[in-house]
Amino acid sequence: MSGFKKFLLRGNVVDLAIAVVIGAAFGAVVTALVKDIITPIIGMFGGLPDFSAWAITVNGSKFMIGDFVNALLAFVVLAAVVYFMVVLPVQKFMDHSKPQQEPKPETRECPHCLSKIPKAASRCAFCTADLDVPKEEMVAPKRGITPAR
């Protein structure tokens, strides 16, 4: 029983329970907003002031199309609020706080004398050993010298 008590009183479980309760309350507010404000505004232009009364009967079965439209509108509004009020700000914060990538080193070690030499070097300046130039460094090194024409 003590393990179960520790599990229940852990911060994550309590935080999750609070988030579920607040999320349900927020969902009820959004549903009321759609049903009581947004749907009548749309109904002013479409001629049907309350979508919940909109139903189709086929062979004695009643399809509540209006309730579905209200639920769909509530979902879209809720998704937009979550995206613009939670996802985008968190994403911007994460992008801002993300560590910058370190620039690639401009030098490498000579395999013979372990001195630091430029990446594009084909000969070590210290031990004069011939070196293999990595394929990515086959381009002319950046020395600020323009080739003669």
Domain assignment present for 143: no
pTM over 0.85: no
Domain assignment present for 147: no
Name the 3-class secondary structure at 59.
Answer: coil
Q: Mean of the pLDDT values across residues 115-135?
A: 81
On whether both 38 and 84 belong to a single domain, the answer is: yes
Provide the number of structural domains found in the chain: 2
What single-letter amino acid sits at 45?
Answer: F
Domain that residue 35 falls in: 2-97
On whether both 44 and 67 belong to a single domain, the answer is: yes
On whether both 40 and 91 belong to a single domain, the answer is: yes
pLDDT for 136 equals: 59
From residue 106, give the alpha-carbon distance in Å to each of 19, 102, 131, 145: 49, 12, 16, 18
Band (132; pLDDT cuts 50, 70, 90)? confident
pLDDT for 25 equals: 92
Q: Which residue has the higher pLDDT, 50 or 78?
A: 78
Residue 96 has pLDDT above 80, yes or no: yes
30 close to 43: Cβ distance less than 8 angstroms: no
Radius of gyration over alpha carbons of the chain, in Å?
33
Band (147; pLDDT cuts 50, 70, 90)? low
On whether both 60 and 79 belong to a single domain, the answer is: yes
Render pLDDT for 53-91 as a digit per residue (tens, 0 to 9): 788 899 999 998 888 888 888 888 888 888 888 889 988
On whether both 23 and 84 belong to a single domain, the answer is: yes
On whether both 43 and 24 belong to a single domain, the answer is: yes
pLDDT-above-90 percentage for the chain: 5
On whether both 123 and 57 belong to a single domain, the answer is: no
